[in-house]
Amino acid sequence: MRTKNLYIVWCLILILVLEGCSGKKEEPENALLYEDEIEEGHDYIVVGFAQVGSESDWRMANTASFQATFREENGYYLLFEDGQQKQENQIKAIRNFILQEVDYIILDPIVETGWDAVLEEARAAGIPVILSDRSVEVSDETLYTCWVGSDFEEEGRVAGRWLADYLKKEGRDEEEIRIVTLQGTLDSSAQLGRTKGFDDILKNHGNWTMLERRSGDFTQSKGQEVMADFLRTHSDIDVVISENDNMTFGAIEAIEKAGLTCGPEGDIIMISFDGASRAAFTAMQEGKLHMVMECNPLLAPLVDEIIQKLERGEEVERIRYVEEQYFDASMDLEAVLETRGY
């Protein structure tokens, strides 16, 4: 009997040792969900993209750029997650990408802080993280491989310099100028950068007063709501700085509803950011909007370039800014539109 028991114990030990040697680990329940969808014989680069949401025209153009670039015919399999403007959704998406053993994670972070833990998890899983559009503030910069996007601070400075030049041309550079700002999602890189950049110029103009700043969360409905509040509180607004076009469209509605006008012939100077859809150009052509500082949404080809370099084992730039310019109502906007891909 004792010999039989010893035999069973030895068999169990042998099974455990053999399993250990085979390196086989338990598959997480929802791992590699995409595997069934991948055509046999194909070896795609699997990319998980944690997008912010679908709050603006810019965002739509940005998502379209990723969906057009990260296609199977280009050697990619894209897992796309819409964070619906909530950081917890994006964190969940990243954890899911890790479980699914993707090759790369692309993150467009809603806000800058609160990413350390999940980026540590991605690093522990050996998955490179590429930041696109917005950035993060982390204790260890090596938690992400690189970042590609807009110089948001410079965008804000260009808008400020444009306003100074415009007021000068109009002979109003000595006048008291009262400004309100519709800010984007608070603590997002786009909001922080644009607000800071505009401030850099504001502080050089003693006759400019910032009456109020409030977030319209980058959406048209919130932009309209906050602008209507501004108009109720301040009877003397000269300039609206709107940190994206959709809030601008909402603000124009609120201004017109209040019986006022905006644009070069109107009561209020309107300055916007993005220019990622025809609508912003139409607003300038209709004389309702003075100036748009471009924010380029076509980031996917640059991220593709980065991944291809990493695949070849090459070094990549840690920070890469996209080229941008401003457009204003005095330009030949039809000619500009003919050159644009969105």
Give the interface with ligand AHR as residue ranges (CB under 6 A). Answer: 55-56, 58-59, 133-134, 190, 218, 244, 273-274, 295
Question: First and final CA of the chain: distance in angstroms?
Answer: 81
Using DSSP, state whether 277 is helix, strand or coil: coil
Q: Nearer Cβ to ligand AHR, position 44 or 326? A: 326
**Whose CA is closest to 237, among 179, 280, 194, 283?**
179
Q: Nearer Cβ to ligand AHR, position 166 or 273? A: 273
Q: How far is the CB of 224 from ligand AHR (least distance, A)?
A: 15
Q: Nearer Cβ to ligand AHR, position 149 or 263? A: 149
Helix (H), strand (E), coil (C) string for 231-269: HHHCCCCCEEEECCHHHHHHHHHHHHHCCCCECCCCCEE
Amino acid at 249: F
List Cα–Cα distances, 174 to 42, 164, 170, 198, 209, in angstroms. Answer: 66, 10, 11, 19, 13
Which residues have C-beta within 8 Å of that of residue 253, sequence separation ≥ 6? 224
Q: How far is the CB of 75 from ligand AHR (least distance, A)?
A: 27
Angle between helices 189-202 and 152-169 (to 10 degrees): 40
Tokens of residue 81, six digits: 């997650």
Q: How far is the CB of 202 from ligand AHR (least distance, A)?
A: 20
Phi then psi dihedrals of residue 34, to 5 deg: -80, -10
Q: How far is the CB of 341 from ligand AHR (least distance, A)?
A: 17
Tokens of residue 227, six digits: 């602008």
Q: Nearer Cβ to ligand AHR, position 79 or 190? A: 190
List Cα–Cα distances, 16 to 3, 5, 8, 26, 334, in angstroms. Answer: 20, 17, 13, 14, 72
111, exposed or middle or buried, with CB in 10 Å at 0-12, 13-18, 19+?
buried
Q: Nearer Cβ to ligand AHR, position 58 or 97? A: 58
Q: Nearer Cβ to ligand AHR, position 96 or 185? A: 185
Tokens of residue 131, six digits: 């930041």
Q: How far is the CB of 149 from ligand AHR (least distance, A)?
A: 8
In order, the DSSP letters of 131-172 are: EESS----S-GGGSSEEEE--HHHHHHHHHHHHHHHHHHTT-
Amino acid at 241: I
Q: How far is the CB of 176 from ligand AHR (least distance, A)?
A: 30
Q: Nearer Cβ to ligand AHR, position 97 or 273? A: 273
Q: Nearer Cβ to ligand AHR, position 134 or 288? A: 134
List Cα–Cα distances, 33 to 53, 100, 124, in angstroms. Answer: 23, 7, 21
Q: How far is the CB of 58 from ligand AHR (least distance, A)?
A: 3
Q: How far is the CB of 274 from ligand AHR (least distance, A)?
A: 5
Q: Nearer Cβ to ligand AHR, position 55 or 103? A: 55
